[in-house]
Amino acid sequence: MRFHHSPMKKNMMKKKNTKQFYTRLAVLAVTAVLAVVAVVQPFAKPANADTYDDQIKVLQSQIDSYNSKASDLAAQADTLNNKIAELQNQQSQLQAQINLTTAKSNELKAQIAANEAKIKEQSTALAQTLSNLYYSQQTSTLDILMNSNSVSDYVDKTTQQDSLQQQISASVDQITAIKKQLESQKAQVDQLLATQQAQQDQLTATQQQQQDLLAQTQGQEANYQALVTQSNAQIASLKAQQAAANAAKQKQYNGKITAGDPNHGGYPAYLDNAPQDSLIDPWGMYNRECVSYAAWKVQQTYGNMPYWGGSSGGGGVVPSGSAKYWVGKAQINGIPYGTTPKVGSVAVMTSGTYGHVAWVQQVNGSQIYVSQYNWGMTGQYSEMWIDSAAFQYYLYFGEWK
């Protein structure tokens, strides 16, 4: 039996079918969108850079630059100190020479004064002798003969006059020569003294310039050291925020911390015994950080840990392998990851300043047991049971081909 529907009823059925079609189409569309979101979401979240981490990178770069400049200025200060010491030594030697020259000058002055006193003492006797000689020269030979008792007496008087004349001439010549010699020596000594004093003045001026430059250099070095201190204080503040974020996660997800393996999971002794952040490991990470430990566990277990640290620069290696970027790095390198914890995977927490990574050792339902470094931001090794939801992602290095 065939049933015939009226046109009105046919229209109602057609509208109903159309409505169902569009409803199904809308459901399919929503399902497709959710599927796309489910695929895109794991990739989108890690791409959002945390402002704290950016600040850390900037601050660390500034610290390296400040330390480099402070080191250069310290080297300059050492050089200036050496130059100043050298100038002081030269000045001491020159002062000793000046002292000797001054003593020589004073000695010559004393000799000149003594010579002048000697001339003064002899001046009276010399004047009398000259007067007698002059008188004798004015007397004629006849007068001398008349006043002489004999020819022999005459000869004696004439010889005496010649002798006195020769003595006077020799004395005058000697005194004149000594005077010229002493004056010449004194002029030379005075010239040497003037030259040495000019050298000393120049050395003093140079030394003062070096002292001023040293003070300026030391002042600049102190400024850079102050900037280093300020930047380190900012980093300490950011680390404190990360520690607070970790503590909040621990409380929220019932984390139970223990000291764990006394051998610290086999972490290399040279990295474990050194002060935190004082060494760079083979993957570009600072020692005793969570990323350094996780990188070592991956390498030890699977032998395929990529280099996820920093790049070489003027101040050395500047690690940039913060834990929160590991999912993005895994995506770039084609390393499988997901939200399900597995033994031998790396758990990744993206919250806080740096994020955090840990090595998954056991899985018990929703609970996982992990080993890690630096959970409390003090560079210490620890182990803990915690809800797997505390970590956003898990990296499967063992499945990477």
The dihedral through the CA atoms of 145, 149, 150, 154 has a sign that is negative
Give the domain range for residue 191: 59-231
Q: Classify residue 276: in a domain, yes or no.
A: yes
Window from 17-21, 180-184, 208-212, 369-373 with minimum mean pLDDT: 17-21
Burial of 247 (0-12, 13-18, 19+ CB in 10 A): middle
Distances (CA, A) of 100 to 94, 104, 203: 10, 6, 19
**Is there a single domain that holds both residue 225 and residue 265?**
no
Q: Classify residue 45: in a domain, yes or no.
A: no
**Is there a single domain that holds both residue 204 and residue 268?**
no
Look at residue 267 in the predicted model and tell me its pLDDT: 96
Residue 211 is encoded by which pair of tokens? 């002292």
Distances (CA, A) of 170 to 120, 165, 167, 174, 184: 17, 9, 5, 6, 21
Examine the fold and report which residue of 182, 199, 231 is the final residue of a domain before the chain moves on: 231
> In one letter, which amino acid is 159?
T
Does the pTM of the predicted model rise above 0.85?
Answer: no
3-state secondary structure at position 5: coil
Residue 376 belongs to domain with CATH number: 3.90.1720.10
**Is there a single domain that holds both residue 307 and residue 268?**
yes
> How many residues can be counted in the chain?
401
**Is there a single domain that holds both residue 204 and residue 350?**
no
**Is there a single domain that holds both residue 214 and residue 269?**
no
Residue 222 belongs to domain with CATH number: 1.10.287
Q: How far apart are CA 179 and CA 119, in angstroms?
A: 10
Q: Classify residue 116: in a domain, yes or no.
A: yes
The dihedral through the CA atoms of 32, 33, 36, 38 has a sign that is negative
**Is there a single domain that holds both residue 226 and residue 262?**
no
Window from 16-20, 155-159, 235-239, 390-394 with minimum mean pLDDT: 16-20
Look at residue 92 in the predicted model and tell me its pLDDT: 83
**Is there a single domain that holds both residue 370 and residue 225?**
no
**Structure confidence by residue, pLDDT tens digits, 180-237:** 888 888 888 888 888 888 888 888 888 888 888 888 887 887 887 888 888 888 878 8
Q: Classify residue 42: in a domain, yes or no.
A: no
Helices 51-138 and 151-252 pack at an angle, to 10 degrees, of 170
**Structure confidence by residue, pLDDT tens digits, 66-103:** 778 777 777 877 787 777 887 777 778 878 888 888 88
Over residues 159-178, mean pLDDT: 75
Q: How far apart are CA 291 and CA 323, in angstroms?
A: 6
The 10 Å Cβ neighbour count of residue 205 is 10
Q: Between 6 and 314, whose confidence is greater?
A: 6
**Structure confidence by residue, pLDDT tens digits, 48-67:** 334 444 566 567 777 777 77
HEC string of 90-123 equals HHHHHHHHHHHHHHHHHHHHHHHHHHHHHHHHHH
Most confident of 165-174, 201-210, 321-330, 387-396: 387-396
Over residues 114-125, mean pLDDT: 70
**Is there a single domain that holds both residue 343 and residue 382?**
yes
Q: Classify residue 48: in a domain, yes or no.
A: no
Burial of 358 (0-12, 13-18, 19+ CB in 10 A): buried
pLDDT band at 46 (very low <50, low <70, confident <90, very high): very low
**Is there a single domain that holds both residue 269 and residue 216?**
no
- Residues pairing with 387 in the sheet: 367
**Is there a single domain that holds both residue 225 and residue 303?**
no
Look at residue 18 in the predicted model and tell me its pLDDT: 46
Look at residue 318 in the predicted model and tell me its pLDDT: 34
Examine the fold and report which residue of 215, 231, 247 is the final residue of a domain before the chain moves on: 231
Q: How far apart are CA 358 and CA 287, in angstroms?
A: 15
**Is there a single domain that holds both residue 87 and residue 171?**
yes
**Is there a single domain that holds both residue 201 and residue 348?**
no
Q: How far apart are CA 218 and CA 293, in angstroms?
A: 40
Q: Classify residue 25: in a domain, yes or no.
A: no
pLDDT band at 173 (very low <50, low <70, confident <90, very high): confident
Q: Classify residue 16: in a domain, yes or no.
A: no
Q: How far apart are CA 166 and CA 162, in angstroms?
A: 6
* Averaged pLDDT of the chain: 77
> In one letter, which amino acid is 233?
A
Number of domains in the chain: 2
Examine the fold and report which residue of 173, 198, 231 is the final residue of a domain before the chain moves on: 231
Q: Classify residue 238: in a domain, yes or no.
A: no
